[in-house]
Structure formats: structure tokens, C-alpha cells
């Protein structure tokens, strides 16, 4: 029976050799150092894919490494790094979900930010739709976000419906603008009609939650928390996990 330690040693040796004899596939090693080239090849070794897919995967790994200052680079935990790299093999470029994987891989190699790379985040990314990332970014722009939703229904409230709801409140111009600014921007989604599905899924993932500390705000706006004949109005926000997820995985995440 083959000694598993021998197998591991030979695998590492082969990957290290690949880093030294195939610099062309890594590209311009002098720009980011032999250590980066070695890391790229070590990540790539378990995944035998061809041509363009391999080149693209190398670019993804390279981007993740480049974001970490050299003095802060550490060897990532394999149980996190390899599943990310495996997912990146077939992730298209210019896909926002691809960027989430790259950012998480980068955090896993950063001595100062590795604590942000929560093990749950990989699983969350694998379940997310691009629109759900837009959903979270919209929430991150405010401490709290107002949601309008028909009572007892999971339906997208289109602009005409929302405007009609506010028209009946006879709000002053400044208060009207305030509530519109604090209301979720449904139309930023590529499929706003799926808003109720995204909301429910993100709640299930533990990234958003009902808040409703805006009770005084509702009074100021002359809105009821519940109106059976109209849209109800309630408040939601990112959870602590949701904020940490965006901080770790969403490039240039900003919070209101």
C-alpha cells in the first residue's frame, strides 16, 4: 500500500517544480514575485483543466494574491482555499459572484484580515444570485431600509403602487422625499419581480432581518405598520453576519 505521506510529498514537489519550469503560464513573474507564482501553481496543481479555462483561473488566483501586501501574505487553510479555487474554475469573468469568491480567497491569505473569512461565507456565495448581491449592497447604503409589501402576499410592489400608497398619506414634500430615500430601490434589480424570493432567501441565509425600530419614524410619516387595504410598511437591515459578509467578500463595500 502506498504511503500517503509519500503521495503528499510528491504532489507538493511536482507543483513546486511546475512553478519553476513553466513561468510562461503564470506570466511576468518579476512583477509580483516568485512566491506568488509558486502559490498560483500550488493552487492550480489539483485541477487539470485545459487552455483558456486554466489561463482564466490563473488570473483569478493572481488577482486574489495581488490584493494582499507581500508582508501580510500567509498560506491559506486548504479546506477553504481549494473549494474556492474549484468553484472559480468555471466562473465567468465580469460576474459579480466571481468577485465574491476572489475576495474571499484574498482574505484567506491576508494575515490582518483572515478573521473575516468566515467558513460559512463560501456556502453563502454558492447559493447567491447576482441580484441578491445588489439587494445586500442596497441595504448596506442605509442603517435601516423601508420595505413596502402587500399584506399577506409575496408580490413585487411596482412604482405606481408605491406612489399611490404615499399619495394617500398626504405627506409634506420633505417627509415624502425622506421616505422615498429610505425605501428599497426595487428597480435596481435585474428582475425586481423576484424581490420577495430574494428577501426570503437572504433572511434564510441570516444576512438580513426585520428591524422596526422606526416606530417613531412611522408616526412622523403618518404611516401605519399594517393596513389591510394597502401596502404595509416595515423596516429591515443587514444582520451582523450580513455586514461581515459584505466586508469580507464585496469589493469596496460601503455602509450607511
Predicted pLDDT at 28: 41
pLDDT over 90 (residue 26): no
Per-residue pLDDT tens digits for 93-151: 989 999 999 999 999 989 999 999 998 999 999 999 999 999 999 999 998 898 888 87
Predicted pLDDT at 220: 58
Most confident of 40-54, 69-83, 104-118, 220-234: 104-118
pTM, rounded to two decimals: 0.77
Grade residue 8 by pLDDT with cuts at 50, 70 and 90: very low
DSSP-assigned letters across all residues of 205-232: TTSEEE---THHHHHHHT--S--TTSEE
Phi, psi of 147 (to 5 degrees): -120, 135
Amino acid at each position: 500500500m502506498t504511503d500517503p505521506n509519500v503521495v503528499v510529498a510528491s504532489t507538493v514537489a511536482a507543483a513546486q517544480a511546475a512553478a519553476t519550469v513553466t513561468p510562461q503560464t503564470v506570466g511576468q513573474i518579476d512583477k509580483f514575485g516568485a512566491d506568488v507564482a509558486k502559490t498560483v501553481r500550488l493552487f492550480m496543481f489539483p485541477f487539470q483543466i485545459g487552455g483558456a479555462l486554466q489561463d482564466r483561473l490563473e488570473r483569478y488566483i493572481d488577482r486574489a494574491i495581488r490584493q494582499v501586501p507581500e508582508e501580510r501574505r500567509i498560506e491559506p487553510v486548504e479546506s477553504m482555499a481549494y473549494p474556492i479555487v474549484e468553484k472559480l474554475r468555471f466562473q465567468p469573468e465580469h460576474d459579480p459572484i466571481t468577485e465574491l469568491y476572489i475576495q474571499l480567497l484574498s482574505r484567506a491569505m491576508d494575515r490582518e484580515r483572515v478573521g473575516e473569512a468566515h467558513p460559512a461565507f463560501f456556502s453563502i456565495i454558492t447559493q447567491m444570485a447576482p441580484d441578491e448581491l445588489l439587494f445586500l449592497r442596497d441595504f448596506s447604503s442605509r442603517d435601516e431600509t423601508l420595505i413596502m409589501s402587500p399584506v399577506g402576499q409575496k408580490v413585487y410592489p411596482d412604482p405606481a403602487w408605491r406612489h399611490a400608497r404615499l399619495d394617500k398619506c398626504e405627506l409634506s414634500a420633505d417627509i415624502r422625499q425622506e421616505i422615498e430615500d429610505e425605501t428599497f430601490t426595487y428597480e435596481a434589480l435585474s428582475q425586481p419581480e423576484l424581490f420577495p424570493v430574494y428577501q426570503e432567501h437572504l433572511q434564510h441565509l441570516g444576512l438580513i432581518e426585520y428591524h422596526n425600530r422606526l416606530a417613531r419614524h412611522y408616526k412622523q410619516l403618518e404611516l401605519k405598520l399594517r393596513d389591510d387595504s394597502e401596502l404595509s410598511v416595515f423596516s429591515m437591515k443587514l444582520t451582523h453576519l450580513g455586514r461581515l459578509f459584505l466586508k469580507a467578500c464585496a469589493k469596496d463595500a460601503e455602509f450607511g
